[in-house]
Amino acid sequence: MMVDETDRKIIQATQAGLPLTTQPYQTLADQLALTAEEIMQRLSAMKNSGIIRRIGAVPNHYKLGYRFNGMTVWNIVDEMIDELGQKVGQLDFVSHCYQRPRKLPEWPYNLFAMVHGKSQDEVDLQIRKISELLSDNNLGCDVLYSTKILKKTGFRSAMQHATD
Amino acid sequence: MDEIDKKIINALQNGFPICDAPYQQVAGQLNLTEQELLARLTILLDNGTLTRFGPLYNAELMGGALTLAAVKAPHDRFDELTDIINSFPEVAHNYARNHELNMWFVLATDAPEQIAQTIMAIEQKTGLTVYNMPKIKEYFVNLKLEA
């Protein structure tokens, strides 16, 4: 699953995004002195291996009206975390779901799930649904809302990050 | 943003074809002309409705590393600490959050060993303890927001 030099050039050339031209892969090929066929074949291979998660658009939450972006964090019984993490991740309103280490004593939470809503009520309902799903295996939870974006780099946003 | 923009945003979050004229193909599915799709996409990117359009890469599969970290930034030093932490190129995202751990940032590095080095450097420059919470397991990642 390793990327070679040519793949890296393609990744570099698409850091800022895909060209907005009628034949974007041909445009990339012209920039890199490759053929469009090779660009398309390599992008397909990287997509199949998971190096490319997807090709598509990333909206700004706030501009679409999603002003309530909550990082919900849960203290889950260790034996149950994989099973429950999968289930929480499958909820259609959860955009990211990870197991992370506790930082005891002050941070007992080991499951992180990001939720997004246009109102506080909407997010509260989402949190209630997660809570119901976790039931007795949830030993405690908290919700951290982002109050300000302090930094968001264009360059590195080509990598899909944990707190989007 | 009108109904056509919403249709474009929703469709383009579901993927994009790899073929000679992909915008033409997507435009056809949305009953638009290729030129109209490209013109609207340009505007949506320029006005910040879309932060990005293109391939989204998985940093870890390319040999890089990511982590989520947090600090307790005292209120009277918050702006100064924001500047220090943001000055590290490894800091990709940084958010203020409503908790005692009130500053949360993502570190992205080319190699795994650079994560620990960066955290140590941030601790030295800020005098704060950095709570490092790298993912142990990823259960789901896909940000799709209906416009």
- Whether residues A74 and A33 fall in one domain: no
- Whether residues A135 and A102 fall in one domain: yes
Q: How many domains does chain A have?
A: 2
User: Which residues constitute the domain of residue A70?
Assistant: 62-145
When the pLDDT of each residue in chain A is averaged and rounded to a whole number, the result is: 92
- Spell out the domains of chain B, with CATH numbers in brackets: 3-46 (no CATH), 59-132 (3.30.70.3460)
Q: Is B126 on the interface with A (CB under 8 A)?
A: no
The residue written with tokens 């030093």 in the block is B77
Distances (CA, A) of A74 to A143, B46, B124: 9, 38, 30
In 10 A of CB B102, how many CB atoms? 19
Q: In chain B, which residue's Cα lies nearest the Cα of A71? A: B97
**For A96-157, what is the HEC assignment?**
EEEECCCECCCECCCEEEEEEECCHHHHHHHHHHHHHHHHHHEEEEEEEEEEEEEEECCHHH
- Whether residues A137 and A81 fall in one domain: yes
Q: How far is B59 from chain A (nearest CA, A)?
A: 6
The residues near A50 (Cβ < 8 Å, ≥ 6 apart) are: A1, B58, B61
| B144: amino acid identity, one letter | K
pLDDT at residue A154, rounded to an integer: 54
Q: How far is A148 from chain B (nearest CA, A)?
A: 5
The residue written with tokens 């209120």 in the block is B75
Partner residue facing A57 (CB), from B13, B62, B134: B13
Q: Is the pLDDT of residue A156 over 80?
A: no
Residue A152 inside a domain? The answer is no
Residues of A within 8 A of B131 (CB-CB) are 103, 107
Residue A155 inside a domain? The answer is no
- Whether residues A82 and A133 fall in one domain: yes
- Taking the C-alpha atoms of residue B37 and residue B10, their distance in angstroms, rounded to an integer, is 13
- Whether residues A90 and A121 fall in one domain: yes
- Whether residues A43 and A84 fall in one domain: no
pLDDT at residue A162, rounded to an integer: 42
ipTM here: 0.86
Residue ranges of chain B whose pLDDT lies below 50: none
Q: Is B38 on the interface with A (CB under 8 A)?
A: yes
